[in-house]
Amino acid sequence: MKYLLEDDFEYDFKLVGISCHERDYRVCWGVNQILSLPLSKGEREIEVYHRKNNRYSRHTLFSAYDLNTEDEVHLIANRGKSGYLIPEQKHADYLLMIKGDGLLEYEKVVSKLKKVSFILTAFNIEVSQLKSKENLNF
């Protein structure tokens, strides 16, 4: 008898990929400036286990919360020393996760990010299409 494990997680957020060769703190500063956000680095990082090479990779996390609307914005490093958070998005150095509509107008985020001088490009990512979307549950 076989059992099928179904994915019960809700992916109720929007995701923007950012290609940039700068360090994480500089990208965070640029994102904060152009989007008027209070992103800051917290105590925690995201840790993901990669079965392929039997290693864990750590990814820096910058977050902003709006206590009134309970909206969240996270800037996450996609590249870790031992692998990618989302391996199928290797051209995205950083991921901007947007939960809720109170902090940002999602439609304008990509065009605003492209105006930052050191950001090479920014693009929307369809979360439902990602194979490793479970890595974004934290």
- Please tell me the total count of domains within the chain: 1
- Is the confidence at residue 98, as pLDDT, over 90? yes
pLDDT of residue 11: 73
Selection from 7, 3, 5, 33 nearest residue 133 by Cα: 7
In a domain, 116, yes or no: yes
User: Does 10 reside within a domain?
Assistant: no
CA angle, 120 then 21 then 136, to 5°: 90
In-domain check, residue 5: no
Query: Domain limits at 79?
Result: 21-129
Q: Tell me which residue of 16, 39, 15, 20 sits closest to 116, measured CA to CA.
A: 20
Residue range 36-91, pLDDT digits in tens:
999 999 888 888 887 777 888 899 999 999 888 888 999 999 998 888 999 999 99
Inside any domain, residue 13: no
Among residues 99, 98, 89, which one has the least CA distance to residue 121? 89
Q: Is residue 1 in some structural domain? A: no
Say if CB 60 and CB 66 are below 8 A apart. Answer: no
CA distance 7 to 10: 9
